[in-house]
Amino acid sequence: MSHGKKNKEDLASLIIFVILGVLPPAAIVARHFMEIDPLAWLKIDWGRTVIGYISLILAILICLFNFYISIYVPWEYKRKHGSMKDFAHFSGIPILGSIFVFCAGALLPPSIYIGIFLYLIYVFDGNGFPYIFFSLIRYGY
């Protein structure tokens, strides 16, 4: 009986992660490609662009750090040592980069170039939602 309950909990968690993982790309598409303001209901006038650029800078820093820790460091270790034996895993900053990508995508003025750039850092974030989806698909939920 408990096995069925666990599967329901796993499925619910997967659905929540999918919804949260779709929000940043949806905000980027809405704001930068369709010029629809996903946060219009908040009526933010003052400081919107400043907060957007701060979010962009934080997203870049966190996503680069996560990429370095999660993707580059293991690759470099395997290249130098020939295997992953004795590799000590480092943890990045999970999901936080995706949150800042969402904030930057929703707050910055519409620009196709900014939208493309935000998509790139979202995808290359080694501890963001795309990586979680890849892990769930690869190792199962």
Report, as an integer, the average pLDDT of 16-39.
88
b/e for 40-62, b at 16 or more Cβ within 10 A?
A: eeeeeeeebeebbeebbebbbeb
| Res 1 pLDDT > 50 | no
Radius of gyration from C-alpha coordinates of the chain: 18
| Res 4 pLDDT > 70 | no
Alpha-carbon distance of 98 to 100, in angstroms, equals: 5
Give helix 2-28 / helix 129-139 axis angle, nearest 10°: 140
| Res 136 pLDDT > 80 | no
Report, as an integer, the average pLDDT of 87-112.
87
Q: What is the pTM of this model?
A: 0.79
| Res 19 pLDDT > 80 | yes
Residue 100 burial (CB count, 10 A): 26
Report, as an integer, the average pLDDT of 15-19.
81
